[in-house]
A and B are shown apart, each in its own frame.
Chain A
Amino acid sequence: MYVELNNVSKNFGHFQAVRNVSFGLEKGVLGALLGPSGSGKTTILRMIAGLENPDSGDIFLDQLRVNDIEPSRRGLGFVFQNYALFRYMTVFDNIAFGLKTQKVPRDQIRQRVEELTALIGMEGLESRYPAQLSGGQRQRVAFARALAPNPRILLLDEPFAAIDAKVRRELRSWLRGMISQLKITSIFVTHDQAEAIEVADQIIVANLGRVEQAGTPLELYRSPATPFVARFLGDSTVIGDYRVLAGFENAPEGAECAIRPEFIRIYDLQEPIQYENSVEDGEVVSLAFRGDSIETGVNVRGFVLTAFRSLEKRPLAVGQKVKVLIYRLYAFDREQALLIGNNRLDDVADGYRIGI
């Protein structure tokens, strides 16, 4: 592992911001640290950078324990949440700063800065000040500034948070491209699951200061280890006793389950239903146009499930009675996660163990 955290904890006073966090990233990988606000993402990132000291646990970078190594000697580039560009320095001086502190000769600095301004597509703007740049441009300057001293590892704290939605998409793929091109091991923090799934090779899901699960986006999506992960990646509805649902009466017991939109099919009452006795009665409670489909909320036994309904199908109205088929669901008990299919569909009642 190129970046490795081993049982790292951090308290602020009596508050446990990070608890026994362990994960690893291979060299050249782009990892996303994903979690809701306050889950400890920034704190974890700052501990890797050395801006915060862990109370316990070890941090390894390239096999070397760095807990006691000064931040500036860890060979990291850091992009701050609000960029923290030096506002009284021009773009050129911002990018050159890390090289100047390393006493790199002037002409080499100039060369490197030119190289980087070309890389971020900002030639000709070197003499501007940060205040004279757009949000996206600032973000790219922050990126170039962090890259200038050739760090081994790049850390980015919510690099797209301060940018509006449209530009954010562009910047995302730009950054993804840059990082794959430079092959630099990177970790970025985000609370946006779509962003993590789209950009990252590896996702580390944090919640309440713990790591819930780490893996590739596909692994996390297909086999969430905890209800939290299931809920956080992809829209799923988490419900308690799932054995009341038609087709799941004989399913193994579990504490709760998560149902993804793609696990659900909605029939209006005129439509022929293949598996008559495996459907539930439901009522449409909300409709939202999503461009390629209609996000439909249906009330089934008091739970509001979310499903996507094709635009090809007959339109539904709020309040309309419908039939709902649940193909499968993720069930969780204390130790494991199970993918359970509707037993009237395929007669497989056991479910099979996934994840962990």
Chain B
Amino acid sequence: MSAATTGSKAVFEAAALEATSLAAGGPAATVLKTPAAPLFSRPRPNRPAYMDEGRLLRRGLIAASFLFVFVAIILPLAAVLSRAFGHGWGPFWAAATDLFTVRALKLTLLTTVSAVAANTLFGLAAAWALTRFNFRGQGLLITLIDLPFAVSPVIAGLIFILTFGRLGWLHPLLTAWDVKIVFATPGLVLATIFVTLPFVARELIPVLAARGADEEQAAALMGAGFFRVFFEVTLPHIRWALLYSVILCAARAMGEFGAVSVVSGHLRGKTITLPLHIEILYNEHKITEPFAVAAILVFSSLLILLARNIVETVAKKERYLDVR
């Protein structure tokens, strides 16, 4: 995933950017974990003495994990931050409030919000349909939902170029209607939607499936309409999973580089999102600016991580309401 997200256009300080994209997007694998199983808060098993033979091995593994995380994530992140603030607050602030940076930030927020909104609606509908109805092509739909995880983001971008671009089969129609998609905001939004499509649906399907349709049927039997059933019976159950998936989806959308890079056309101040902006600044051999903008992305990622942890904690507290 790193190769695809990092892109291959310029010679980057690979580790630093890798870290940024890691924090912003997170690898796909972590997404499939439900909020119900936080990694670090399990009760320590009370092991009998004879099981402690592997103590050395255990400590070794733990140490290795921490060392790896430190070298692969903490160090590069620290490098980014030290470069960003290496010349003090002034240069950082100048870079952060630069007109193009602000525009890139706005565009990033716009694409993120649109993509997340679209995928939330889609994810809810798909998860509901897949777990509540039996229909032909159920397996196909699940496979298609997974597709964006399997396809490289660069390919995702190319798909849109080939569909809407100058040589694309829909291009004549678009020119006739005077609609711009590729090299414009709609293209960025579409590419981001594509890349982040699985998040919400993937998170909700197991939750809805595990819970069954009994409560919904009971409500419907008592005369509740669709919206009442959804908002009063279904939503309370899935709200934390939904929020969790929305957060991850937002994180991924914000840090998306590959697909967006392909459909962007790199029109400065128009189709440049934050990750693209970082790349451009870096290629211009700027000293502080790329890292200052990267730092903004890192901070937002940290905020998102924080939000995710809060959601996890609250969701765990509410699990006492689960019957059985």
Interface residues of chain A, those whose CB is within 8 Å of chain B, are 49-51, 71-73, 76, 78, 80, 82, 84-89, 97-98, 101-102, 129-131, 138, 145, 149
Contact = CB atoms under 8 A, between A and B. Distances in A.
Interface of B: 214-215, 217-225, 228, 232-233, 236-237, 320-323
Contacts of B233: 86, 88
A131 B222 contact: no
B180 to A, nearest CB: 46
Given A78-B218, A78-B221, 16 more contacts: A50-B221, A51-B221, A71-B221, A76-B221, A85-B323, A86-B219, A87-B215, A87-B323, A88-B321, A97-B219, A98-B223, A101-B219, A130-B321, A130-B323, A131-B320, A149-B222
Nearest to A74: B221
7 contacts: A51-B221, A84-B217, A87-B323, A101-B225, A102-B223, A130-B321, A131-B322
Given A131-B321, A131-B323, A84 B223 contact: no
B322 A82 contact: no
B218 A80 contact: yes
Contacts, number: 65
A101 B321 contact: no
B224 A101 contact: yes
A101 B321 CA distance: 24
Contacts of B224: 72, 97, 101
Contacts of B225: 101
A87 B321 contact: yes
Contacts of A82: 214
Contacts of A88: 233, 236-237, 321
Contacts of A102: 223
A84 B214 contact: yes
Contacts of A73: 223
Contacts of A85: 215, 323
**From B218, B219, B224, B237, residue with most partner A Cβ within 10 Å:** B218
A51 B224 CA distance: 14
A72 B220 contact: yes
Contacts of B237: 87-88
Contact of B222 (A50, A51, A72, A87): A72
A143 to B, nearest CB: 13
Contacts of B320: 131
A84 B215 contact: yes
B226 to A, nearest CB: 12
A41 B222 CA distance: 22
A84 B321 contact: no
A72 B223 contact: yes
A138 B215 CA distance: 14
Q: Which 9 A-B pairs have the closest CB atoms?
A: A84-B214, A88-B236, A98-B222, A72-B223, A101-B223, A84-B218, A101-B224, A84-B215, A87-B323
B222 A129 contact: no
Nearest to B214: A84
A81 B323 CA distance: 14
B323 to A, nearest CB: 5
Contacts of B214: 80, 82, 84
A130 B233 CA distance: 14
A101 B223 CA distance: 6
A129 B323 CA distance: 9
A82 B228 CA distance: 22
A131 B324 CA distance: 8
B299 to A, nearest CB: 35
A80 B221 CA distance: 11
A97 B221 contact: no
A216 B233 CA distance: 40
Contacts of B220: 71-72
Contacts of B221: 49-51, 71-72, 76, 78
B237 to A, nearest CB: 6
Contacts of A50: 221
Contact of B321 (A71, A72, A129, A149): A129
